[in-house]
Structure 1
């Protein structure tokens, strides 16, 4: 069988930075839509006549559908032009926001959030593979950093702005306010994205073939441990800051803003300095973020120290996405869509698992135990990654076409 190859023209595309920026805006809106209920949970529950805990399931349901969508999108999309698949995912986000904003009851809310999960999983699974086709290979890290800049924007500002506007106008109006932004983004994507015809089918069989590669499977597990560590800590950061740091509402808002804004530094630095082989950098996110979490256990009683370590943590949190997705683009370049599906499913699953582990440790033991659990996962990630060499693809390896 003949190995999959790309023509020289396809390997060195003319950079389409406008399309990259339109995808960055889409990322910002996806993240804002996914986590907006965190800042609006209580009024949403009251408005729908549901319990707060029950309404909180609106967050987890989108994560579950994102995992499922990321695993099946490349097979379900078949030979469809990838431009129109991404446009369809953005249209699904728009429909989701309308359903949530207009939801007369909890059931409709869950349908809307499930649709958002499909949009999240489908978009993220294809995003890196599309970026690889929009810019030359040497510019992929920079393009990824621009796209993940949208994540930094949403992380820094979506929750506080949503909370503030929700208090002024109501939670439904917050979701309605997002709809024209998504509609504009939808039009921009249609105009900016070039035609992206589907290449060789990369379905379940290719995913299985990737998982048989020891270097890829090891990297996938290491990335799951890294994200699991991050979200074991991040999900329960507020109770830590309230109980250990003694933060009131004002200080809490300042510290969270510091963490979010530091993400811009992470995306800028990763785009500027991430060059060549990314292998030696793969252990850096778990090493630095785990170290910051450990330092918070000892020095988190000081607001100044907490702010410093949260800034470092926030910068590396956004850089982590760029580092690991660059690794994927370099070491699964013969099957980027299948690899993207596996990566997104693994990340979403590890985020959910990290939140569950952290919650159990918090409820059964203490917030300190939750942070210790996060550090333990980070240590495991660093140990598995090592110097990164075992996670690199042999130069002659490629997936055969059928």
Structure 2
């Protein structure tokens, strides 16, 4: 496996840590700037909303630029964003600093997954893409405890410095060691937009958006929940988030194996399991020891949502992989925005303990959408990898590169 693929994985780790690392330090920021927790939640949801609205346009507009230098530009922008965030004198400046890199975020995701597949032979493409996705997955489960721990050890500003350093290292490595990636196959915008006619792709995208909304309605405020309901202090919350992340890495691996065997069954089992763990968190949230076990189980289940969303959202449109990937990023981040927004409303109106129920409702809706099919229904028991191989034989396009399994 070429080292450039691992460098792209490091870049993915950096940008996702910047996006989700805010979750663990949100209460500290709210207190520092004297804003409500739901207002502070816009540091996550505003970032995600910007991605949701601009993602596909950014990918289409930058389609002709050298892929190496586009990824370098994205990482450099994230370095600047973290520096500005660390020195922000007020909440407005912090909000602006957070939103600026969000415009380019989907470009890195789309370009890195496709570029990784092109760095190796076709048979090794799934492995290459899985390495990049591992950077994304690890960031979603470790980025939060890392930034939370640094904030507890020093202050919340130091958390942004750490995120900035990670992005700076990735930027330097990418600029120095990744070969130039000029665009040789120039695909017209019109030819890519043809995937927008696929009804099942839209069903899968909407289901992914609602699923991720259900995940983040509570997860965005997990630090607040553990503090107010489970009565944990800052150090204990950091440990819980680390436990959440550690079990999440194992869960991500298990979900990948399950998806390769049966995508639909895995999706439904995931949703039912996540609903169950939310109910457990509601019932036993006030008890320290039971909640510790629940957090570990929650993390194990939680992380699989990203792989499931990637698999279901992009598998329908291998003709335009970068656009398909950017649509998944947009809808996924729309889900983050929706979930964080709805969670904030519930917390403001009914208290943080009741936020669990909005997650359960959204997850139930997503579960119902797994029974909606547009056009000819595919065999859900067919492994994703074999579907991709079949398509590759017919069209010579490696769909498996974008399934994330």
TM bin (shorter chain): 0.7 to 0.9
CA RMSD of aligned residues (A): 3.5
Aligned to 2:178: 192
- List per-residue Cα deviations over 1:3-34 (Å, max 9, x = no partner): xxxxxxxxxxxx53x23321221122112222
Spell out the pairing of 1:89-238 with structure 2 (5 A cutoff).
Answer: 89-103=74-88, 108-135=93-120, 139=124, 142-166=127-151, 170-190=155-175, 191-192=177-178, 195=181, 197=183, 199-201=185-187, 203=189, 206-207=192-193, 209-238=194-223
TM-score w.r.t. the length of structure 2 is 0.79
Deviation at 1:355, TM superposition (A): 1.1
List alignment gaps of at least 5 residues for structure 2: 380-386, 396-405
Spell out the pairing of 1:1-400 with structure 2 (5 A cutoff).
Answer: 16=2, 18-40=3-25, 50-53=33-36, 57-103=42-88, 108-135=93-120, 139=124, 142-166=127-151, 170-190=155-175, 191-192=177-178, 195=181, 197=183, 199-201=185-187, 203=189, 206-207=192-193, 209-272=194-257, 274-275=259-260, 278-386=263-371, 390=377
Aligned to 1:7: none
Deviation at 1:385, TM superposition (A): 1.0
Q: Is the 8 A contact 1:78 1:198 kept in 2?
A: no
- List per-residue Cα deviations over 1:164-202 (Å, max 9, x = no partner): 544665554543444443232113223235625253436
- List per-residue Cα deviations over 1:135-179 (Å, max 9, x = no partner): 556655544443343345434444444345446655545434444
- List per-residue Cα deviations over 1:34-77 (Å, max 9, x = no partner): 24444555776788xx5434666444432233223312122211
Q: Is the 8 A contact 2:343 2:355 kept in 1?
A: yes
Deviation at 1:130, TM superposition (A): 3.1
- Write the distance in 1 (CA, Å) between the matches of 2:237 and 2:140: 15
Q: Is the 8 A contact 2:258 2:266 kept in 1?
A: no
TM-score w.r.t. the length of structure 1 is 0.79
SS at match of 2:319: coil
Q: Is the 8 A contact 2:27 2:224 kept in 1?
A: no
SS at match of 1:78: coil
Q: Is the 8 A contact 1:83 1:195 kept in 2?
A: yes
- List per-residue Cα deviations over 1:330-368 (Å, max 9, x = no partner): 332111111112111101111110111122222223445
- List per-residue Cα deviations over 1:364-385 (Å, max 9, x = no partner): 2344542122112111111211
- Write the distance in 2 (CA, Å) between the matches of 1:368 and 1:168: 27
Q: Is the 8 A contact 2:248 2:300 kept in 1?
A: yes
Deviation at 1:103, TM superposition (A): 4.3
- List per-residue Cα deviations over 1:265-310 (Å, max 9, x = no partner): 1233345554366344333432221221123233444444433333
Deviation at 1:257, TM superposition (A): 2.0
Q: Is the 8 A contact 2:118 2:125 kept in 1?
A: no
List alignment gaps of at least 5 residues for structure 1: 1-14
- Write the distance in 2 (CA, Å) between the matches of 1:359 and 1:204: 40
Q: Is the 8 A contact 1:148 1:318 kept in 2?
A: no
Q: 1:122 to 1:78 in 2, by over 3 A?
A: closer
Q: 1:364 to 1:104 in 2, by over 3 A?
A: closer
Q: 1:213 to 1:189 in 2, by over 3 A?
A: same
